[in-house]
């Protein structure tokens, strides 16, 4: 299965700022998925990113808040914009290759 | 209809025992049912998965039982070990018009005691 590298692994950010999370995959994949996992909770899909097209956002998530880039078949970024403490979560990217594989996540704390 | 209901929320099992986690769904369009194991500070790791045309799948100590008519599936961990202590998530996939999505259950925190 694919190996996913996610950066940063954790960060503490001031409210009102933005953080860009990077996801690098060791193989070419069509779809990349971004999830949010709030503390002690389950995973919620934020958006699906296909190379060469606009990301598709789930209900409750908007592009202005979570802009996504997908410049090629092995890389994607998720930006969490204008952060508030409610954005404190683990953000995970995922790809589908012989099953859905997840990165180790970015643990974001907004103060 | 997109929900996947998971139970129990937490589970304590003695070492060597059988751990059983259950999930139920309503959407008959779900076509793939994986189970994930997550340790603190780590991303979820795929344990085992099943498709709805199969009633059971076994991989080592892990077995999925799938009941299509009841819209239920469960994870059985045989000979549970302290190293199995983790949070387990069931999930279900839908596919449509070139899109796909995993919907996750709420998770079960499993603790294996010596």
User: What pLDDT, in 10s, does the model give residues B6-33?
Assistant: 999 999 999 999 999 999 999 999 999 9
| pLDDT on residue A51 | 84
Mean pLDDT value across residues B45-66: 96
Mean pLDDT rounded to a whole number for chain A: 95
Tokens found for residue A71: 């410049």
CB contact under 8 A, B43 and A99: no
* B32-49 residue pLDDT tens: 999 999 999 999 999 999
Q: In whole angstroms, how far apart are CA B100 and each of A4, A19, B31, B35, B87?
A: 19, 27, 10, 17, 24
CA distance A105 to chain B (A): 6
Instruction: Tell me the DSSP string of B74-90.
Output: EEEESS--GGG-EEEEE
How many domains in chain A? 1
Asked if B76 and B50 touch (Cβ cutoff 8 Å), the reply is no
* A32-73 residue pLDDT tens: 999 999 999 999 999 999 988 889 999 999 999 999 999 999
Torsion of CA B10, B94, B41, A91, to 10 degrees: -130
| pLDDT on residue A41 | 94
Please give the domain boundaries of chain B with CATH numbers for all domains. 4-113 (2.60.40.10)
CATH number of the domain within which A57 lies: 2.60.40.10
| pLDDT on residue B1 | 60
Tokens found for residue B63: 């077995």
- Domain of A20 in residue numbering reads as 4-103
Number of A to B CB contacts under 8 A, please give it: 48
Q: In whole angstroms, how far apart are CA A99 and each of A56, B30, B36, B103?
A: 21, 15, 11, 14
CB atoms near residue A86 (< 10 Å)? 9
* Residue A108 in domain: no
* Residue A60 in domain: yes
């Amino acid at each position: 299965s694919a190996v996913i590298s996610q950066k940063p692994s954790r960060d503490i950010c001031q409210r009102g700022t933005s953080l860009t999370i990077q996801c690098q995959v060791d193989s070419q994949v069509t779809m990349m998925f971004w999830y949010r996992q709030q503390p002690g909770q389950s995973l919620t899909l934020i958006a699906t990113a296909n190379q060469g097209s606009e990301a598709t956002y789930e209900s409750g998530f908007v592009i202005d808040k979570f802009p996504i880039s997908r410049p090629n078949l092995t890389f994607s970024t998720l930006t969490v914009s204008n952060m508030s403490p409610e954005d404190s979560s683990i953000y995970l990217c995922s790809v589908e290759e012989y099953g859905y594989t997840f990165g180790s996540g970015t643990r974001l704390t907004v103060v | 209809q997109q929900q996947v209901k998971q139970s129990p929320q937490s589970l304590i099992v003695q070492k060597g025992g059988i751990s059983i986690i259950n999930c139920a769904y309503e959407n008959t369009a779900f076509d793939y049912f994986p189970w994930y194991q997550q340790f603190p500070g780590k991303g979820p790791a795929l344990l085992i998965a099943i498709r709805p045309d199969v009633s059971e799948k076994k991989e080592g100590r892990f077995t999925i039982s799938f009941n299509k008519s009841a819209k239920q599936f469960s994870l059985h961990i045989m000979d549970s070990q302290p190293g199995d202590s983790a949070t387990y998530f069931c999930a279900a996939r839908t596919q449509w018009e070139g899109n796909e999505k995993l919907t996750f259950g709420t998770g079960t925190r499993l603790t294996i005691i010596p």
